[in-house]
Amino acid sequence: MMDRETIICRCEEVTYEELITTADSYHCSARELKLRTRAGMGICGGRTCRFLIEDAAEESKEKVYENIPLKYQPPVRPMRFDEGGKNK
Amino acid sequence: MNEAEVVIIGAGPAGLSAAIQSARCGLRVTVLDEFMKPGGRLLGQLHEEKKGVWWNGIEEADRLYEDAVNSGVHIRLGTTVYHIEKENRWVTETSEGTWESRCLLLAAGAAETPLPISGWTLPGVMSIGAAQVMTNVHRVTPGNKGIIIGINPLTMAIARELQLAGVEIEGIYIPPYEKKFRQMETPEQILAGMQRMAHLAPSFLLRVGSRFLVNQWTRQKAIQFYPKKGLSVWGIPIHFDKTVTKIIGENEVKGGFISSINAEGIIKEEEQYRKEVDFVCISGGLYPLVELAAVAGCPFYLIPELGGHIPLHNQTMHTPVEGLFVAGNITGIESAKIAMVQGETAGLSMGKAVNGTSRDIEEKLHQSVQNEKRIRAEALIQFHPEVKKGREKMHELWQNYVKESAAAKE
Ligand SMILES: Cc1cc2nc3c(=O)[nH]c(=O)nc-3n(C[C@H](O)[C@H](O)[C@H](O)COP(=O)(O)OP(=O)(O)OC[C@H]3O[C@@H](n4cnc5c(N)ncnc54)[C@H](O)[C@@H]3O)c2cc1C
């Protein structure tokens, strides 16, 4: 068993406790869990904790086979504001 | 806007090998990579394949880079790709501008799977790959004495590299187990996977006795009666019956709490004791870095033998998305030699896509696909024992996809 105070999302400092209590009270999908707790929404864009969030959520395992539960969206890396909209 | 016939994302062994082949087919090729050196994960690799025969990744990277430049390939380093999109042609958006191309190859490699452990946000805790890059690429040791948490082929390879660099490894431990997380395994499951480390830990296997690995009951016994001091490989103790429950320190790593763990992953906290170290490596294994394939709308399947969600592709490295190719660890976690031969195949496929078919190119493609199978059969480092089965699954999924889309057209 993991210590519940362990931080899962390092960027937004979300603990395992917060993730599982949120998942339990709202029966959330991975996306909802992310939006409710901000886990996976920090500077690394969820590259570290995305699988942990997916597993902490209450989704059926079958759907996982053909789908990536948490969608990937551009930009896939953090970018500076002044780089947005530029067409060099 | 920049333009090329082929844009390749990733200057690792797959991307560079592909670039060389495409350029030799007469195509204008640009390779983009966010790192400041070419070679990808090759840059960290150093292992003894047989007595006296070393695999030196830096030399391999230099050779590929030179070949690519001599074949007329443009290589842009320090260039981060943010987004790819198919308009008429492929559009690749990066920190250094936009590229347009007829073909696009994703050779973005793999990333490390995290294992959350209490205290893992302290400075001095790093992934095992980070320790490898610090030591072998930047030539800075991660510390004087460290603990590694996680036992897999990457652990064994990098523990040896750290040792060769003069860094002391206090011990290698089992990660804490939590059923909810699919990438976490019990000590018994991890021991079952030891076969794939035959090459990296021969003395260990001899001592545990490979007969202990064959069934669950003997593996449970092996862990129950595991030597308290651990079994050593190159003088580094491996502890199959112990885990690190907490990494301690105030402003930086000072040590860790060690506890016994049984074959099912249950921890005995009452036997906890403390070890002093100045760094900790977490080694959770690798998964394919597929974010750009997902953004491009490629279909995916979860194939655990290949390391996670894999973009649908065939043996000549085509995806179902027109003009989009994949090669290397993005198609499944394997060694650098497999990445190279997959890159060659992809390079030839892009040559065919632009120039049209010919007997020469068909023969080369056929040869390259056969080479991949041969190299896999001879591979010394295997990240997953069932990788061949994983590749066969993907092949089947592709054939089904082709059948279904043909039926849909009719
Ligand atoms: C930490 C680690 C250690 C490894 N150790 C070994 C080992 O000891 N022996 C072994 O055989 N295999 C090892 N491997 C497996 C290794 O992945 C393969 O050997 C091989 O390097 C894979 O080649 P590749 O070309 O597919 O990807 P890589 O070599 O990973 O190259 C991918 C390149 O793509 C670039 N890239 C990715 N995304 C972007 C983006 N959005 N924009 C720009 N550039 C991007 C990266 O910077 C990188 O240079 C290791 C892998 C990792 C992650």
Whether residues B262 and B157 share a domain: the answer is yes
The whole-angstrom separation of Cα B243 and Cα B261 is 6
B13 pocket-lining for ligand 1 (C-beta < 6 Å): yes
Whether residues B153 and B245 share a domain: the answer is yes
The whole-angstrom separation of Cα B296 and Cα B87 is 11
Please give the tally of structural domains in chain B.
2
3 state DSSP class of B146? strand
CA of B352 relative to ligand 1 center, distance in Å: 26
Beta bridge partners of A9: A14
Contact B83 A75 (CB under 8 A): yes
The verdict on residue A51 lying in a domain is yes
The verdict on residue A55 lying in a domain is yes
The verdict on residue A13 lying in a domain is yes
Please work out, in degrees rounded to the nearest 5, the angle formed at the alpha carbon of residue B41 by the alpha carbons of B38 and B44: 100
The verdict on residue A1 lying in a domain is no
Contact A2 B116 (CB under 8 A): yes
Of B267, B282, B297, the position where a domain reaches its end is B282
The whole-model pTM stands at 0.95
- Residue pLDDT, tens place only, B381-395: 788 888 999 999 999
| Least reliable range by pLDDT among A21-25, B43-47, B116-120 | B43-47
Whether residues B260 and B305 share a domain: the answer is no
Whether residues B133 and B150 share a domain: the answer is yes
Q: How far is CA B406 from the centre of its chain?
A: 34
Identify the segments of chain A with pLDDT beneath 50.
Answer: 88
Q: Look up the ipTM and state it.
A: 0.91
Of B233, B252, B282, the position where a domain reaches its end is B282
Whether residues B171 and B215 share a domain: the answer is yes
Residue nearest to atom 7 of ligand 1 (CA): B45
Whether residues B99 and B211 share a domain: the answer is no
Specify the DSSP class assigned to residue B9.
E
- Residue pLDDT, tens place only, B78-103: 999 999 999 999 999 999 999 999 99
- Residue pLDDT, tens place only, B14-41: 999 999 999 999 999 999 999 999 999 9
**Span B343-347, mean pLDDT?**
98
3 state DSSP class of B238? strand
Whether residues B106 and B141 share a domain: the answer is no
- Quick check: B180 contacting A, CB < 8 Å? yes
Residue in B41, B81, B160 to alter for ligand 1 test, most ligand atoms within 8 A of Cβ: B41
Contact predicate B336/B41, CB 8 Å: yes
* % of chain B residues with pLDDT over 90: 79
B187 pocket-lining for ligand 1 (C-beta < 6 Å): no
Q: Report how many Cβ contacts below 8 Å link chain A to chain B.
A: 85
Of B246, B262, B282, the position where a domain reaches its end is B282
Whether residues B36 and B178 share a domain: the answer is no
What is the DSSP track for B75-144?
EE-S--EEEEEESSSEEEEETTEEEEEEEEEE---EEEPP---TTTTSTTEEEHHHHHIIIIIS---S-S
Beta bridge partners of B7: B30, B104
Residue nearest to atom 48 of ligand 1 (CA): B40
Whether residues B269 and B332 share a domain: the answer is no
- Residue pLDDT, tens place only, B272-291: 999 999 999 999 999 999 99
Range of the domain at A72: 7-83
- Quick check: B63 contacting A, CB < 8 Å? no
Q: Which of A3, A10, A88 is closest, CB to CB, to B121?
A: A10
Whether residues B310 and B240 share a domain: the answer is no
Residue A85 confidence (pLDDT): 64
46-75 of A, contacting B, C-beta below 8 A = 47-49, 51-52, 55-56, 64-68, 71-75
Range of the domain at B97: 2-111+286-409
Residue B126 has pLDDT above 90, yes or no: yes
Please give the tally of structural domains in chain A.
1
Tokens coding A1: 């068993």
Contact predicate B115/B248, CB 8 Å: no
In this structure, what CATH number is given to the domain that contains residue B194?
A: 3.50.50.60
Q: Which ligand 1 atom is nearest residue B109's CA?
A: 27
Whether residues B231 and B246 share a domain: the answer is yes
Nearest to B273 by CA among B228, B226, B223: B228
Residue of B nearest to A2 (CA): B178
Residue B410 has pLDDT above 60, yes or no: yes
10-39 of A, contacting B, C-beta below 8 A = 10, 16, 20
B161 pocket-lining for ligand 1 (C-beta < 6 Å): no
Q: Which of B1, B292, B301 is closest, CB to CB, to A66?
A: B301
Whether residues B123 and B253 share a domain: the answer is yes
